Chains A and B, each alone.
Chain A
Amino acid sequence: MRFLGKAAGGLYLLLLYLFVAGPLLFVIATSFNPATSFPAPFEGLTLSWYAAILRRPEFLSAAGTSAVVAALAAALAVVVAFLAAYALSRNGSSSARGAMATLLASPLLVPQVVISLAILQLASAWGVGTGFWGLVAAHAVYVMPFALRLLLTGLARFDFAVEEASRSLGGGWLSTWREVTLPLLRPSIVAGFTFCFILSFVNLPLSLFLTSPDTATLPIVMFAYIESRIDPMIAAVASVIVLAAGTATILLDRFLHVRLVD
């Protein structure tokens, strides 16, 4: 009986993992398939689709654009989220904190295409172009709530008495933040930044109305590519993104692990 229960639990876990990771595995497998259409039966193993990426400069420059946009948007989002989370955790009743946190999370409730369109309209109403910074702003607005959630969780475990200890020992506001507050919250800040970066990097709908040929992000270029044809090169691009994001996540976990447990 006991064995059957364990086996059933194991099977459930296996199915769950397959459900989550299955499509990903399929995409990665496809990227090695020499067949020129997709999906198609396996015909062997090749790295030619990865080589093909290198022959398409628009993918490489779009990856660069995406990385810069994601870094700036994540940095902006983390700064705003940190200030909001800090103020919410330090002051106010827990009910007010909940209400404010929900309000700050509201960008999640608006379809991303709508945020993109709204920023485009606002910019043209003001008579300014959206350009690169409009794109960054849209991404920052959307990813900010994720950083907020992580920082609120981090701050919930933060004992504000250590700030008072620092001040009683002669530390001003700046030194206290530099020496005590920020180092203790570093895991949440790093995790928030990484999470925001990845979310921004792979995001398509936010960029739909805000990119020009100069500022095309990687998802936009991928989208344009598969509109004209579908071949496994797009799977190769996706595999590279998965590999990079996966590596970042693992490094982060190790980094946090080292940080949190000595």
Chain B
Amino acid sequence: MPELILSHVTRRFSGHTAVDDFSLTVRDGEFVCLLGPSGCGKTTTLRIIAGFERADAGRLTLDGADITHAPPQQRDIGLVFQSYALFPHKTVAENIGFGLKMRGRPRAAIAAAVEEALALVRLEGLGGRYPRALSGGQQQRVALARALAIRPRLLLMDEPLSNLDAQLREEMRNEIRRIQKSLGITAVLVTHDQAEALAMADRIAVMAKGRLQQMADPATIYEAPATAFVSGFIGQANVLEGRVESTGAEAVLALPGGVTLAGRGDGLAAGAATRAMVKHERMALCRAEPAQLANRFPCQVAERTYLGGSIAYRCEAAGMTLTALLPNHPLFESFAPGDTAWIGWAATDCAFFPC
């Protein structure tokens, strides 16, 4: 079973620890996204898995075999580069067949595998072209076909969609997912784009400063972030700081202005400095008092930003500056700067994290 296990992998560069005691299990046939801001160590982690970067400590196993010290050419890992890294002096067919040529397969077998790979990425008939004669999206498909033609035990992708324009990126997201599922191949994709990770992954591993923050399915990452970092990084959140007044199933946070908030959180201690985070779209903004919401305050709309699909309102309420994101739909009320209204959110949407 091609299962990838990283245990306690650490990589130090002069001065800083790029990957810090990082453990991760990617199950057979699973699609995992490594998500994090630039410099969080996700690309270094991918390079360690591919064998281009050594681990200073820790162990990697693939398919039960220890690959910690195996050179890249012996790992049987297909790699898709951010720059695609196609061989410019070889045709599309030669690019795709390269890995099999390195394995000493007979010509006829290579030709058949190349045709199959071209069909898989829907580029039939383009085998004779050179990479520069292809569009960015087509080059991306060739890179994918080249990585898959060796029938790798694992497919690694390093920001594969970041060089494509928005529309093509969405198309390729679905395409990569379709191919990954049809082959049942285990895959790890590195990205800084949360929408990409949420849309594609079976599970997302969120990284920050070389450490694993949370590993869970997209809905859990989004709805139940484990750390303040994850909460702030995925989606956009209002952040309020105060001290815990009471703990329990529904905790209470006292803000400096005397306002109290109801919310939920683990590891809270009474009196401890704590941060409350609420996603912008989980805020309600309405003219009537939303009595069913535990946290509700009269507010004044300070700013309205038209975003097309939604409208963002920046509001002042009881000394807090809060942003509410409302769908651009006739069922939702519309406000103008200067309007008075009610802003509110449920305790279940209000996550407390110790600072």
A179→B75 CA distance, assembly (Å)? 20
A153→B86 CA distance, assembly (Å)? 21
A-facing residues in B119-154 (Cβ within 8 Å): 130, 132, 146-147, 150
| Contact A169–B146 (Cβ < 8 Å) | yes
Contact pattern, B 75-119, Cβ under 8 Å of A = 1, otherwise 0: 111110101011111000000001100110000000000000000
Selected contact of A169 from candidates B52, B83, B88, B102, CB within 8 Å:
B102
Chain A residues with CB below 8 A from B51, complex form: 167-168
Chain B residues with CB below 8 A from A169, complex form: 73, 78, 98-99, 102, 146-147, 150
User: Which stretch from A135-143, A157-165, A197-205 is at the chain B interface?
Assistant: A157-165
Selected contact of B103 from candidates A165, A170, A262, CB within 8 Å:
A170
Selected contact of B78 from candidates A166, A168, A175, CB within 8 Å:
A168
Selected contact of B73 from candidates A161, A162, A172, A180, CB within 8 Å:
A172
Q: 11 interchain pairs (CB within 8 A)?
A: A162-B87, A167-B51, A168-B77, A170-B74, A170-B76, A170-B103, A171-B102, A179-B87, A180-B87, A183-B89, A184-B88
Interface residues of B (CB under 8 A from A): 50-52, 71-79, 81, 83, 85-89, 98-99, 102-103, 130, 132, 146-147, 150
A166→B150 CA distance, assembly (Å)? 12
A262→B81 CA distance, assembly (Å)? 25
| Contact B85–A165 (Cβ < 8 Å) | yes
Q: Kindly report which residue of chain A lies nearest to residue B143, judged by CB atoms.
A: A165
A67→B86 CA distance, assembly (Å)? 39
Selected contact of A162 from candidates B75, B85, B102, B132, CB within 8 Å:
B85
Q: Kindly report which residue of chain A lies nearest to residue B72, judged by CB atoms.
A: A167
| Contact A161–B88 (Cβ < 8 Å) | no
* Cβ of B104 to closest chain A Cβ, rounded Å: 9
The range of chain A's interface size is 10 to 19
Chain B residues with CB below 8 A from A166, complex form: 87, 98, 102
* Cβ of B62 to closest chain A Cβ, rounded Å: 13
Selected contact of A161 from candidates B72, B85, B102, B103, CB within 8 Å:
B85
* Cβ of B133 to closest chain A Cβ, rounded Å: 8
A262→B75 CA distance, assembly (Å)? 35
* Cβ of B204 to closest chain A Cβ, rounded Å: 24
Chain A residues with CB below 8 A from B77, complex form: 168
* Cβ of B4 to closest chain A Cβ, rounded Å: 15
Chain A residues with CB below 8 A from B150, complex form: 169-170
| Contact A262–B130 (Cβ < 8 Å) | yes
Interface residues of A (CB under 8 A from B): 159, 161-162, 164-172, 175, 179-180, 183-184, 262
Chain A residues with CB below 8 A from B99, complex form: 169-170
Chain B residues with CB below 8 A from A168, complex form: 50-51, 72-73, 75, 77-79, 147
| Total cross-chain contacts (CB, 8 A) | 67
- Knowing A161-B81, A164-B52, A168-B77 are in contact, say whether A184-B98 is a contact too (CB < 8 A): no
Selected contact of A167 from candidates B73, B76, B87, B103, CB within 8 Å:
B73
Q: Kindly report which residue of chain B lies nearest to residue A162, judged by CB atoms.
A: B85
* Cβ of B264 to closest chain A Cβ, rounded Å: 45
| Contact B50–A161 (Cβ < 8 Å) | no
* Cβ of A84 to closest chain B Cβ, rounded Å: 23
A183→B90 CA distance, assembly (Å)? 10
* Cβ of A255 to closest chain B Cβ, rounded Å: 14
| Contact A165–B79 (Cβ < 8 Å) | yes
- Knowing A170-B102, A170-B150 are in contact, say whether A164-B81 is a contact too (CB < 8 A): yes
Chain B residues with CB below 8 A from A164, complex form: 50, 52, 72, 79, 81, 85
Chain A residues with CB below 8 A from B50, complex form: 164, 168
Q: Kindly report which residue of chain B lies nearest to residue A169, judged by CB atoms.
A: B99
Chain B residues with CB below 8 A from A262, complex form: 130, 132
A162→B143 CA distance, assembly (Å)? 11
* Cβ of A175 to closest chain B Cβ, rounded Å: 6
The 7 closest A-B pairs by CB, nearest first: A169-B99, A161-B85, A170-B102, A168-B79, A165-B85, A167-B72, A171-B102
Chain B residues with CB below 8 A from A180, complex form: 87
A165→B94 CA distance, assembly (Å)? 13
Chain A residues with CB below 8 A from B52, complex form: 164, 167
Chain B residues with CB below 8 A from A183, complex form: 89
A227→B19 CA distance, assembly (Å)? 72
A49→B261 CA distance, assembly (Å)? 104
- New contact pairs (18) apart from A164-B50, A168-B51, A170-B103, CB-CB < 8 Å: A159-B83, A159-B85, A161-B83, A162-B86, A162-B88, A166-B102, A167-B72, A168-B50, A168-B72, A168-B73, A168-B77, A169-B73, A169-B147, A170-B74, A170-B76, A172-B73, A184-B87, A262-B130
A85→B71 CA distance, assembly (Å)? 24
A162→B146 CA distance, assembly (Å)? 12
Q: Kindly report which residue of chain B lies nearest to residue A180, judged by CB atoms.
A: B87
Chain B residues with CB below 8 A from A162, complex form: 85-88
* Cβ of B178 to closest chain A Cβ, rounded Å: 23
| Contact A165–B102 (Cβ < 8 Å) | no
A161→B81 CA distance, assembly (Å)? 8
Q: Kindly report which residue of chain A lies nearest to residue B132, judged by CB atoms.
A: A262
Chain A residues with CB below 8 A from B78, complex form: 168-169
Q: Kindly report which residue of chain A lies nearest to residue B102, judged by CB atoms.
A: A170
* Cβ of A149 to closest chain B Cβ, rounded Å: 23
* Cβ of B43 to closest chain A Cβ, rounded Å: 12
